[in-house]
Structure 1
Amino acid sequence: MPSTESSPSANRLIAALPRKDRQRFLAGCAPVELVFAEVLAKPGTLIAHVYFPTESSISLTTPTDACASLEVSMVGDEGMLGTTLILGVDISPLHAVVQGAGPALRMDTARFRRELTTSTTLQREVKRYLYVTMNQMAQTAACARLHVVEKRLARWLLMTHDRAHSDEFYVTHEFLAYMLGVRRVGVTMAATSLQKRKLISYSRGRITVLDRVGLEAAACACYAADKAAYTRIMA
Protein backbone atom coordinates (compact mmCIF):
# COMPACT_ATOMS: atom_id res chain seq x y z
CA MET A 1 0.00 0.00 0.00
CA PRO A 2 1.42 3.43 -0.87
CA SER A 3 2.52 5.68 1.95
CA THR A 4 0.00 8.34 2.90
CA GLU A 5 2.83 10.81 3.30
CA SER A 6 4.80 10.31 0.06
CA SER A 7 2.20 9.18 -2.49
CA PRO A 8 -0.24 12.15 -2.59
CA SER A 9 2.36 14.52 -4.02
CA ALA A 10 2.84 12.13 -6.95
CA ASN A 11 -0.65 12.91 -8.29
CA ARG A 12 -1.85 16.48 -8.02
CA LEU A 13 -5.57 15.69 -7.80
CA ILE A 14 -4.98 13.45 -4.78
CA ALA A 15 -2.53 15.95 -3.29
CA ALA A 16 -5.28 18.61 -3.32
CA LEU A 17 -7.44 16.61 -0.88
CA PRO A 18 -7.49 17.49 2.84
CA ARG A 19 -5.25 15.18 4.88
CA LYS A 20 -8.10 13.08 6.30
CA ASP A 21 -9.78 12.66 2.91
CA ARG A 22 -6.43 11.93 1.30
CA GLN A 23 -5.57 9.14 3.74
CA ARG A 24 -8.98 7.52 3.28
CA PHE A 25 -8.73 7.86 -0.48
CA LEU A 26 -5.27 6.28 -0.63
CA ALA A 27 -6.47 3.38 1.49
CA GLY A 28 -8.80 2.48 -1.37
CA CYS A 29 -6.10 2.72 -4.06
CA ALA A 30 -3.85 -0.03 -5.35
CA PRO A 31 -0.43 0.77 -6.83
CA VAL A 32 -0.08 -0.56 -10.39
CA GLU A 33 2.62 -0.49 -13.05
CA LEU A 34 1.28 0.65 -16.42
CA VAL A 35 2.85 -0.94 -19.49
CA PHE A 36 3.51 0.93 -22.75
CA ALA A 37 0.64 0.50 -25.27
CA GLU A 38 -1.57 -1.21 -22.64
CA VAL A 39 -5.26 -0.50 -23.31
CA LEU A 40 -7.08 0.74 -20.19
CA ALA A 41 -10.46 1.58 -21.70
CA LYS A 42 -12.40 1.24 -24.95
CA PRO A 43 -15.27 3.41 -26.24
CA GLY A 44 -18.68 2.16 -25.18
CA THR A 45 -17.39 -0.18 -22.44
CA LEU A 46 -18.02 0.02 -18.71
CA ILE A 47 -15.45 1.86 -16.61
CA ALA A 48 -14.19 -0.76 -14.14
CA HIS A 49 -11.38 1.31 -12.62
CA VAL A 50 -10.17 4.88 -12.41
CA TYR A 51 -6.46 5.60 -12.76
CA PHE A 52 -4.30 8.31 -11.23
CA PRO A 53 -0.90 8.39 -12.99
CA THR A 54 2.06 9.20 -10.78
CA GLU A 55 5.04 8.65 -13.05
CA SER A 56 3.18 7.45 -16.15
CA SER A 57 0.92 8.94 -18.80
CA ILE A 58 -2.19 7.92 -20.73
CA SER A 59 -3.37 8.96 -24.19
CA LEU A 60 -7.06 9.37 -24.93
CA THR A 61 -7.87 8.81 -28.60
CA THR A 62 -10.95 8.74 -30.78
CA PRO A 63 -11.28 6.86 -34.09
CA THR A 64 -11.27 8.96 -37.25
CA ASP A 65 -12.02 6.06 -39.61
CA ALA A 66 -11.71 2.28 -39.73
CA CYS A 67 -7.91 2.26 -39.43
CA ALA A 68 -6.89 5.60 -37.91
CA SER A 69 -7.30 7.48 -34.63
CA LEU A 70 -6.48 10.88 -33.22
CA GLU A 71 -5.28 11.72 -29.74
CA VAL A 72 -7.62 14.26 -28.16
CA SER A 73 -6.23 14.45 -24.63
CA MET A 74 -3.33 13.33 -22.46
CA VAL A 75 -3.37 12.36 -18.76
CA GLY A 76 -0.38 12.49 -16.44
CA ASP A 77 0.19 13.19 -12.77
CA GLU A 78 -1.98 16.30 -13.09
CA GLY A 79 -5.16 14.29 -13.57
CA MET A 80 -7.01 11.01 -13.83
CA LEU A 81 -8.70 8.58 -16.19
CA GLY A 82 -12.44 8.17 -15.54
CA THR A 83 -13.69 11.74 -15.10
CA THR A 84 -17.12 11.00 -16.64
CA LEU A 85 -18.08 9.29 -13.38
CA ILE A 86 -18.57 12.76 -11.87
CA LEU A 87 -21.41 13.14 -14.40
CA GLY A 88 -22.96 9.83 -13.37
CA VAL A 89 -21.79 8.16 -16.60
CA ASP A 90 -19.89 4.87 -16.23
CA ILE A 91 -19.33 4.28 -19.97
CA SER A 92 -15.97 5.19 -21.46
CA PRO A 93 -16.33 7.70 -24.33
CA LEU A 94 -12.76 7.26 -25.59
CA HIS A 95 -9.98 4.77 -26.16
CA ALA A 96 -7.35 5.01 -23.40
CA VAL A 97 -3.86 3.63 -24.03
CA VAL A 98 -0.70 3.88 -21.95
CA GLN A 99 1.68 6.33 -23.60
CA GLY A 100 4.33 6.50 -20.89
CA ALA A 101 5.01 3.36 -18.87
CA GLY A 102 5.33 3.70 -15.12
CA PRO A 103 3.50 3.65 -11.78
CA ALA A 104 -0.06 4.79 -11.15
CA LEU A 105 -2.75 4.43 -8.50
CA ARG A 106 -5.94 2.53 -9.34
CA MET A 107 -9.33 2.48 -7.62
CA ASP A 108 -12.41 0.49 -8.55
CA THR A 109 -15.40 2.45 -9.80
CA ALA A 110 -17.73 1.62 -6.90
CA ARG A 111 -15.20 2.84 -4.33
CA PHE A 112 -14.52 6.02 -6.31
CA ARG A 113 -18.24 6.81 -6.45
CA ARG A 114 -18.43 6.44 -2.67
CA GLU A 115 -15.48 8.78 -2.29
CA LEU A 116 -17.22 11.36 -4.46
CA THR A 117 -20.23 11.36 -2.14
CA THR A 118 -17.97 11.67 0.92
CA SER A 119 -15.51 14.38 -0.14
CA THR A 120 -16.72 17.73 -1.46
CA THR A 121 -13.12 18.66 -2.22
CA LEU A 122 -12.76 15.60 -4.46
CA GLN A 123 -15.99 16.54 -6.27
CA ARG A 124 -14.71 20.07 -6.83
CA GLU A 125 -11.28 19.00 -8.08
CA VAL A 126 -12.65 16.36 -10.46
CA LYS A 127 -15.19 18.82 -11.88
CA ARG A 128 -12.47 21.38 -12.47
CA TYR A 129 -10.23 18.79 -14.05
CA LEU A 130 -13.08 17.66 -16.31
CA TYR A 131 -13.40 21.26 -17.51
CA VAL A 132 -9.64 21.40 -18.20
CA THR A 133 -9.88 18.13 -20.16
CA MET A 134 -12.76 19.47 -22.25
CA ASN A 135 -10.73 22.59 -22.98
CA GLN A 136 -7.74 20.47 -24.04
CA MET A 137 -9.94 18.41 -26.37
CA ALA A 138 -11.34 21.54 -28.01
CA GLN A 139 -7.83 22.97 -28.39
CA THR A 140 -6.62 19.71 -29.95
CA ALA A 141 -9.48 19.69 -32.46
CA ALA A 142 -8.57 23.18 -33.61
CA CYS A 143 -4.87 22.30 -33.63
CA ALA A 144 -5.40 19.24 -35.83
CA ARG A 145 -7.37 21.31 -38.32
CA LEU A 146 -5.23 24.44 -38.49
CA HIS A 147 -1.60 23.70 -37.67
CA VAL A 148 1.18 21.96 -39.58
CA VAL A 149 2.57 18.63 -38.39
CA GLU A 150 5.87 20.04 -37.11
CA LYS A 151 4.17 22.51 -34.77
CA ARG A 152 1.73 19.83 -33.59
CA LEU A 153 4.58 17.41 -32.97
CA ALA A 154 6.46 20.04 -30.93
CA ARG A 155 3.33 20.59 -28.85
CA TRP A 156 2.90 16.84 -28.32
CA LEU A 157 6.54 16.43 -27.27
CA LEU A 158 6.18 19.27 -24.76
CA MET A 159 3.02 17.74 -23.29
CA THR A 160 4.78 14.40 -22.99
CA HIS A 161 7.89 16.02 -21.50
CA ASP A 162 5.71 17.64 -18.83
CA ARG A 163 4.47 14.21 -17.77
CA ALA A 164 7.55 12.05 -18.36
CA HIS A 165 9.63 13.19 -15.35
CA SER A 166 12.64 12.89 -17.65
CA ASP A 167 14.19 14.60 -20.67
CA GLU A 168 14.18 11.22 -22.42
CA PHE A 169 11.20 9.04 -23.28
CA TYR A 170 10.37 6.17 -25.59
CA VAL A 171 8.08 6.60 -28.58
CA THR A 172 8.15 5.25 -32.12
CA HIS A 173 7.29 7.12 -35.32
CA GLU A 174 4.40 4.69 -35.79
CA PHE A 175 3.00 5.61 -32.38
CA LEU A 176 3.44 9.33 -33.06
CA ALA A 177 1.63 8.99 -36.38
CA TYR A 178 -1.20 7.19 -34.58
CA MET A 179 -1.43 9.90 -31.89
CA LEU A 180 -1.35 12.80 -34.35
CA GLY A 181 -3.59 11.13 -36.93
CA VAL A 182 -1.11 11.63 -39.77
CA ARG A 183 1.00 9.44 -42.05
CA ARG A 184 4.29 8.11 -40.71
CA VAL A 185 6.27 9.97 -43.37
CA GLY A 186 4.86 13.27 -42.08
CA VAL A 187 6.04 12.49 -38.55
CA THR A 188 9.48 11.47 -39.83
CA MET A 189 9.89 14.75 -41.70
CA ALA A 190 8.74 16.83 -38.72
CA ALA A 191 10.97 14.95 -36.25
CA THR A 192 13.95 15.28 -38.61
CA SER A 193 13.40 19.04 -38.84
CA LEU A 194 13.29 19.41 -35.03
CA GLN A 195 16.41 17.27 -34.73
CA LYS A 196 18.31 19.35 -37.32
CA ARG A 197 17.48 22.43 -35.25
CA LYS A 198 18.99 20.62 -32.23
CA LEU A 199 15.74 20.84 -30.27
CA ILE A 200 15.53 17.07 -29.85
CA SER A 201 17.56 13.97 -30.58
CA TYR A 202 15.94 10.79 -31.83
CA SER A 203 17.44 7.32 -32.02
CA ARG A 204 15.89 3.84 -31.93
CA GLY A 205 12.60 5.05 -30.50
CA ARG A 206 14.24 7.23 -27.85
CA ILE A 207 13.52 10.95 -27.94
CA THR A 208 15.56 13.34 -25.83
CA VAL A 209 14.53 16.97 -25.35
CA LEU A 210 17.69 19.02 -25.83
CA ASP A 211 16.30 22.56 -25.91
CA ARG A 212 13.05 23.01 -24.02
CA VAL A 213 12.83 26.76 -24.70
CA GLY A 214 13.47 26.25 -28.40
CA LEU A 215 10.85 23.49 -28.55
CA GLU A 216 8.28 25.81 -26.97
CA ALA A 217 9.08 28.41 -29.63
CA ALA A 218 8.65 25.77 -32.35
CA ALA A 219 5.25 24.63 -31.04
CA CYS A 220 1.92 26.15 -31.96
CA ALA A 221 0.16 28.47 -29.51
CA CYS A 222 -2.08 25.59 -28.39
CA TYR A 223 0.53 24.36 -25.91
CA ALA A 224 0.65 27.68 -24.04
CA ALA A 225 -3.16 27.90 -24.14
CA ASP A 226 -3.47 24.44 -22.55
CA LYS A 227 -1.08 25.34 -19.72
CA ALA A 228 -2.78 28.67 -19.10
CA ALA A 229 -6.20 26.99 -18.83
CA TYR A 230 -4.89 24.40 -16.37
CA THR A 231 -3.22 27.05 -14.18
CA ARG A 232 -6.28 29.29 -14.24
CA ILE A 233 -8.80 26.57 -13.33
CA MET A 234 -6.86 24.17 -11.12
CA ALA A 235 -5.04 26.82 -9.09
Structure 2
Amino acid sequence: MAETLIHPSAIIECGAEIGQGVRIGPFCLIGSDVRLGDGAELKSHVVVTGDTSVGSETVIYPFASIGHDPQDLKFNGEHTRLEIGSRNRIREYVTMQPGTDGGGGVTRIGDDGLFMANSHVAHDCRIGNNVILVNSVAVAGHCIVEDEVIVGGLSGIHQFVRLGRGSMIGALSMVTADVLPYGLVQGPRAHLDGLNLVGLKRRGASRSEIAELRATLAKLHDGSFRDTARDLGGRQNSTMVTEMLDFILGPSDRSFLKPL
Protein backbone atom coordinates (compact mmCIF):
# COMPACT_ATOMS: atom_id res chain seq x y z
CA MET A 1 0.00 0.00 0.00
CA ALA A 2 1.35 3.42 -0.98
CA GLU A 3 2.18 6.01 1.64
CA THR A 4 -0.56 8.40 2.77
CA LEU A 5 0.28 11.93 1.61
CA ILE A 6 -1.52 15.03 2.94
CA HIS A 7 -0.48 18.49 1.74
CA PRO A 8 0.29 20.93 4.59
CA SER A 9 -2.37 23.38 3.36
CA ALA A 10 -5.18 20.79 3.57
CA ILE A 11 -7.58 21.01 6.53
CA ILE A 12 -8.63 17.69 8.08
CA GLU A 13 -11.20 18.14 10.84
CA CYS A 14 -10.94 16.05 13.98
CA GLY A 15 -12.87 12.80 13.61
CA ALA A 16 -12.30 12.26 9.88
CA GLU A 17 -11.15 8.76 8.97
CA ILE A 18 -8.37 8.57 6.40
CA GLY A 19 -7.50 5.18 4.89
CA GLN A 20 -4.12 3.88 3.86
CA GLY A 21 -2.44 5.31 0.79
CA VAL A 22 -4.79 8.31 0.57
CA ARG A 23 -3.52 11.42 -1.22
CA ILE A 24 -4.97 14.80 -0.26
CA GLY A 25 -3.75 17.74 -2.31
CA PRO A 26 -3.45 21.46 -1.58
CA PHE A 27 -6.31 23.44 0.00
CA CYS A 28 -8.71 20.53 0.46
CA LEU A 29 -11.22 20.52 3.34
CA ILE A 30 -12.28 17.22 4.91
CA GLY A 31 -15.14 17.30 7.43
CA SER A 32 -15.23 15.52 10.76
CA ASP A 33 -17.73 12.83 9.66
CA VAL A 34 -15.96 11.96 6.41
CA ARG A 35 -14.42 8.55 5.67
CA LEU A 36 -11.91 8.21 2.83
CA GLY A 37 -11.20 4.64 1.71
CA ASP A 38 -7.78 3.22 0.97
CA GLY A 39 -6.06 4.76 -2.02
CA ALA A 40 -8.60 7.57 -2.51
CA GLU A 41 -7.18 10.76 -4.00
CA LEU A 42 -8.32 14.38 -3.74
CA LYS A 43 -6.39 16.45 -6.26
CA SER A 44 -6.71 19.96 -4.79
CA HIS A 45 -9.37 22.48 -3.63
CA VAL A 46 -11.85 19.65 -2.95
CA VAL A 47 -14.45 19.91 -0.18
CA VAL A 48 -15.87 16.70 1.30
CA THR A 49 -18.18 17.25 4.24
CA GLY A 50 -21.22 15.86 6.06
CA ASP A 51 -21.64 12.17 6.86
CA THR A 52 -19.91 11.08 3.67
CA SER A 53 -17.99 7.93 2.80
CA VAL A 54 -15.74 7.79 -0.25
CA GLY A 55 -14.72 4.33 -1.46
CA SER A 56 -11.26 3.05 -2.19
CA GLU A 57 -9.31 4.41 -5.18
CA THR A 58 -11.95 7.02 -5.99
CA VAL A 59 -10.33 10.17 -7.43
CA ILE A 60 -11.92 13.61 -6.91
CA TYR A 61 -10.73 16.56 -9.00
CA PRO A 62 -10.42 20.27 -8.10
CA PHE A 63 -13.39 22.32 -6.93
CA ALA A 64 -15.77 19.40 -6.49
CA SER A 65 -18.25 19.92 -3.63
CA ILE A 66 -19.21 16.63 -2.02
CA GLY A 67 -21.64 16.13 0.86
CA HIS A 68 -23.00 19.63 1.45
CA ASP A 69 -26.68 20.08 2.42
CA PRO A 70 -29.20 18.99 -0.23
CA GLN A 71 -30.90 21.61 -2.36
CA ASP A 72 -34.32 20.83 -0.95
CA LEU A 73 -36.40 23.42 0.90
CA LYS A 74 -37.85 20.65 3.08
CA PHE A 75 -34.39 19.81 4.44
CA ASN A 76 -34.11 21.03 8.02
CA GLY A 77 -30.64 19.97 9.04
CA GLU A 78 -31.51 16.35 9.85
CA HIS A 79 -28.71 13.78 9.88
CA THR A 80 -28.45 12.12 6.47
CA ARG A 81 -25.70 10.40 4.48
CA LEU A 82 -23.86 10.27 1.19
CA GLU A 83 -22.20 6.97 0.23
CA ILE A 84 -19.78 6.90 -2.72
CA GLY A 85 -18.35 3.60 -3.95
CA SER A 86 -14.92 2.61 -5.20
CA ARG A 87 -12.86 3.60 -8.24
CA ASN A 88 -15.05 6.50 -9.27
CA ARG A 89 -13.67 9.49 -11.15
CA ILE A 90 -15.36 12.68 -9.98
CA ARG A 91 -14.26 15.58 -12.13
CA GLU A 92 -14.08 19.34 -11.66
CA TYR A 93 -17.03 21.22 -10.09
CA VAL A 94 -19.12 18.10 -9.58
CA THR A 95 -21.70 18.31 -6.77
CA MET A 96 -23.09 15.31 -4.88
CA GLN A 97 -25.47 15.73 -1.97
CA PRO A 98 -26.77 13.56 0.88
CA GLY A 99 -30.30 12.30 1.35
CA THR A 100 -33.30 13.75 3.16
CA ASP A 101 -35.74 12.29 5.67
CA GLY A 102 -38.41 12.24 2.96
CA GLY A 103 -36.27 10.09 0.67
CA GLY A 104 -34.78 7.55 3.05
CA GLY A 105 -31.91 9.64 4.35
CA VAL A 106 -29.15 8.45 2.01
CA THR A 107 -27.77 9.10 -1.46
CA ARG A 108 -25.79 6.16 -2.88
CA ILE A 109 -23.23 6.16 -5.69
CA GLY A 110 -21.97 2.80 -6.98
CA ASP A 111 -18.52 1.78 -8.23
CA ASP A 112 -16.46 2.60 -11.33
CA GLY A 113 -18.46 5.65 -12.39
CA LEU A 114 -17.29 8.67 -14.38
CA PHE A 115 -18.88 11.95 -13.34
CA MET A 116 -17.65 14.59 -15.76
CA ALA A 117 -17.19 18.29 -15.03
CA ASN A 118 -20.16 20.23 -13.60
CA SER A 119 -22.43 17.20 -13.27
CA HIS A 120 -24.81 17.05 -10.30
CA VAL A 121 -26.30 14.19 -8.27
CA ALA A 122 -29.09 15.41 -6.01
CA HIS A 123 -30.48 14.09 -2.73
CA ASP A 124 -31.81 10.56 -2.29
CA CYS A 125 -30.57 9.32 -5.68
CA ARG A 126 -29.40 5.76 -6.29
CA ILE A 127 -26.65 5.62 -8.90
CA GLY A 128 -25.46 2.19 -10.03
CA ASN A 129 -22.09 0.86 -11.20
CA ASN A 130 -20.25 1.89 -14.37
CA VAL A 131 -22.45 4.95 -14.86
CA ILE A 132 -21.24 7.89 -16.95
CA LEU A 133 -22.66 11.38 -16.49
CA VAL A 134 -21.22 13.62 -19.20
CA ASN A 135 -20.49 17.32 -18.64
CA SER A 136 -23.21 19.40 -16.97
CA VAL A 137 -25.73 16.58 -16.51
CA ALA A 138 -28.20 17.28 -13.67
CA VAL A 139 -29.85 14.35 -11.92
CA ALA A 140 -32.67 15.62 -9.70
CA GLY A 141 -33.74 14.19 -6.36
CA HIS A 142 -35.02 10.64 -5.77
CA CYS A 143 -33.86 9.31 -9.17
CA ILE A 144 -32.65 5.76 -9.77
CA VAL A 145 -29.91 5.29 -12.36
CA GLU A 146 -29.15 1.61 -12.87
CA ASP A 147 -25.83 0.03 -13.93
CA GLU A 148 -24.06 0.95 -17.18
CA VAL A 149 -26.22 3.98 -17.99
CA ILE A 150 -24.71 6.84 -20.04
CA VAL A 151 -26.29 10.30 -19.85
CA GLY A 152 -25.19 12.73 -22.57
CA GLY A 153 -23.99 16.24 -21.87
CA LEU A 154 -26.30 19.05 -20.74
CA SER A 155 -29.17 16.64 -20.07
CA GLY A 156 -31.60 16.90 -17.17
CA ILE A 157 -33.27 14.01 -15.33
CA HIS A 158 -36.57 14.86 -13.61
CA GLN A 159 -37.24 13.95 -9.97
CA PHE A 160 -38.25 10.33 -9.29
CA VAL A 161 -37.31 9.13 -12.79
CA ARG A 162 -35.72 5.67 -13.25
CA LEU A 163 -33.13 5.03 -15.94
CA GLY A 164 -33.00 1.30 -16.67
CA ARG A 165 -29.78 -0.66 -16.95
CA GLY A 166 -27.73 -0.07 -20.08
CA SER A 167 -29.86 2.81 -21.34
CA MET A 168 -28.37 5.73 -23.24
CA ILE A 169 -29.59 9.33 -22.98
CA GLY A 170 -28.57 11.58 -25.86
CA ALA A 171 -27.10 15.02 -25.25
CA LEU A 172 -29.38 17.99 -24.56
CA SER A 173 -32.27 15.75 -23.46
CA MET A 174 -34.88 16.54 -20.81
CA VAL A 175 -35.99 13.21 -19.37
CA THR A 176 -39.34 13.43 -17.58
CA ALA A 177 -40.38 9.76 -17.44
CA ASP A 178 -38.82 6.32 -16.88
CA VAL A 179 -36.47 4.89 -19.50
CA LEU A 180 -36.57 1.17 -20.26
CA PRO A 181 -33.44 -0.94 -19.77
CA TYR A 182 -31.25 -0.81 -22.92
CA GLY A 183 -33.39 1.99 -24.33
CA LEU A 184 -32.06 4.88 -26.44
CA VAL A 185 -33.58 8.24 -25.56
CA GLN A 186 -33.01 11.65 -27.10
CA GLY A 187 -34.62 15.00 -27.83
CA PRO A 188 -35.24 18.29 -25.99
CA ARG A 189 -38.43 16.70 -24.66
CA ALA A 190 -36.96 13.25 -24.75
CA HIS A 191 -38.65 10.28 -26.41
CA LEU A 192 -37.77 6.62 -26.76
CA ASP A 193 -35.87 6.08 -30.01
CA GLY A 194 -35.31 2.32 -29.98
CA LEU A 195 -32.55 0.29 -28.35
CA ASN A 196 -29.06 1.33 -27.29
CA LEU A 197 -27.49 -0.96 -29.89
CA VAL A 198 -23.95 0.31 -29.35
CA GLY A 199 -24.18 -0.37 -25.62
CA LEU A 200 -25.69 -3.81 -26.18
CA LYS A 201 -22.91 -4.79 -28.59
CA ARG A 202 -20.28 -3.55 -26.15
CA ARG A 203 -21.83 -5.81 -23.51
CA GLY A 204 -21.57 -8.77 -25.86
CA ALA A 205 -25.30 -9.20 -26.47
CA SER A 206 -25.96 -11.78 -29.20
CA ARG A 207 -27.99 -11.11 -32.34
CA SER A 208 -30.77 -13.31 -31.00
CA GLU A 209 -30.91 -11.36 -27.71
CA ILE A 210 -31.08 -8.06 -29.58
CA ALA A 211 -33.79 -9.47 -31.86
CA GLU A 212 -35.85 -10.55 -28.84
CA LEU A 213 -35.47 -7.13 -27.24
CA ARG A 214 -36.61 -5.48 -30.49
CA ALA A 215 -39.62 -7.77 -30.74
CA THR A 216 -40.57 -7.04 -27.12
CA LEU A 217 -40.23 -3.30 -27.69
CA ALA A 218 -42.50 -3.54 -30.73
CA LYS A 219 -45.16 -5.30 -28.65
CA LEU A 220 -44.90 -2.68 -25.93
CA HIS A 221 -45.70 0.02 -28.48
CA ASP A 222 -49.12 -1.52 -29.06
CA GLY A 223 -50.62 -0.43 -25.75
CA SER A 224 -50.02 0.20 -22.08
CA PHE A 225 -46.47 -0.77 -21.13
CA ARG A 226 -47.59 -2.26 -17.83
CA ASP A 227 -50.52 -4.21 -19.26
CA THR A 228 -48.38 -5.60 -22.09
CA ALA A 229 -45.55 -6.47 -19.69
CA ARG A 230 -47.99 -8.40 -17.49
CA ASP A 231 -49.24 -10.33 -20.54
CA LEU A 232 -45.68 -11.13 -21.65
CA GLY A 233 -44.33 -12.00 -18.21
CA GLY A 234 -43.24 -15.57 -17.47
CA ARG A 235 -42.85 -16.63 -21.11
CA GLN A 236 -39.39 -15.26 -21.88
CA ASN A 237 -36.18 -17.08 -22.70
CA SER A 238 -34.00 -13.96 -22.71
CA THR A 239 -32.72 -12.64 -19.39
CA MET A 240 -32.51 -9.15 -20.93
CA VAL A 241 -36.18 -9.24 -21.91
CA THR A 242 -37.08 -10.50 -18.43
CA GLU A 243 -35.07 -7.62 -16.96
CA MET A 244 -36.95 -5.13 -19.14
CA LEU A 245 -40.35 -6.52 -18.16
CA ASP A 246 -39.45 -6.61 -14.46
CA PHE A 247 -38.37 -2.97 -14.70
CA ILE A 248 -41.71 -1.98 -16.25
CA LEU A 249 -43.64 -3.76 -13.50
CA GLY A 250 -41.43 -2.35 -10.72
CA PRO A 251 -42.46 0.48 -8.39
CA SER A 252 -42.38 3.93 -9.98
CA ASP A 253 -43.83 7.41 -9.52
CA ARG A 254 -43.53 8.23 -13.22
CA SER A 255 -44.84 7.01 -16.57
CA PHE A 256 -42.57 5.72 -19.38
CA LEU A 257 -40.96 7.50 -22.29
CA LYS A 258 -42.46 6.25 -25.56
CA PRO A 259 -41.65 6.72 -29.25
CA LEU A 260 -42.96 9.76 -31.08
Larger Rg: 2
Tell me, yes or no, whether TM beats 0.5.
no
Larger relative contact order, structure 1 or 2 (CA cutoff 8 Å, min sep 6): 1
TM-score, normalised by the number of residues in structure 1 = 0.28
- Per the normalisation by structure 2, the TM-score is 0.26
